[in-house]
Amino acid sequence: MDTYPPGVHGVLVISKKAERTERQYLRHAGLGVQLGVAIALFTLLGVWVDKKFPSTEPLWTIVGFLLGATGGMTSLIYGVLRKTKTKQTD
């Protein structure tokens, strides 16, 4: 097995700055996925409740969507602000 010095992967040399930038993009992408999952889960929960109690048909689906969107956006905003503060102190 070949051994390469740190930062060298085969013939590809990756700088520390490029690695840091890539990690930063992945963190922000994770926040977007978290938003989507929160909306989907709460909406599905609302659909399930609406099927259990048919007299309130679209009500809980809408409530679930709004709760998921609110919670997901709050998490996204706090995540971005936290990462922005960390970046400014570096």
32 φ, ψ (degrees, to nearest 5): -65, -40
pLDDT digit string (tens) for 64-74?
A: 999 999 999 99
pTM comes to 0.68
What is the C-alpha separation between 52 and 38, in angstroms, rounded? 21
pLDDT digit string (tens) for 6-41?
A: 655 555 556 777 677 777 777 778 888 999 999 999
pLDDT at 8: 58
What is the C-alpha separation between 87 and 82, in angstroms, rounded? 9
Tell me the sheet residues that pair with 25.
none
What mean pLDDT do residues 45-68 have? Answer: 92
pLDDT of 89 above 80: no
72 class by beta-carbon count within 10 Å (0-12 exposed, 13-18 middle, 19+ buried): buried
